[in-house]
Amino acid sequence: MLVHPLRIGDETLAEKYRDILLSSAGLSTYEISHEISEKASRMRAKYSIRTPDAIQIATGIFYGASFFLTNDPNLKKISEIKTIILDDYLEK
């Protein structure tokens, strides 16, 4: 989330994003441990998914998330966690 404001040099916006991520009620953030890194590597090897996706999914699995919410239908192939595709729930 911080890439865009940092790329355009908007430190104020970056700080607002940081505050949302770290201070919002009902939103949890986690540090990436060695166990999560290894799990993400295994996910990448098994499913050929992108590193950011693998890290997020591995973190969810490690901390016991009930599901992984995404808009990438390619991630439905992940069997270790239930994947919910946001578009499946939008009216068309």
Find which of 22-31, 58-67, 81-90 is predicted with most confidence, using mean pLDDT.
58-67
The pLDDT score that the predictor gives to residue 29 is 87
% pLDDT > 90, the chain: 73
Token couple for 29:
């953030």
Token couple for 6:
């940092």
Q: Global pTM?
A: 0.77
pLDDT band at 92 (very low <50, low <70, confident <90, very high): low
The pLDDT score that the predictor gives to residue 44 is 98
Token couple for 58:
């591995």
CA distances from 36 to 4, 40, 56, 60, 75 (A): 26, 6, 9, 9, 18
In the chain, domain spans: 1-30, 31-92
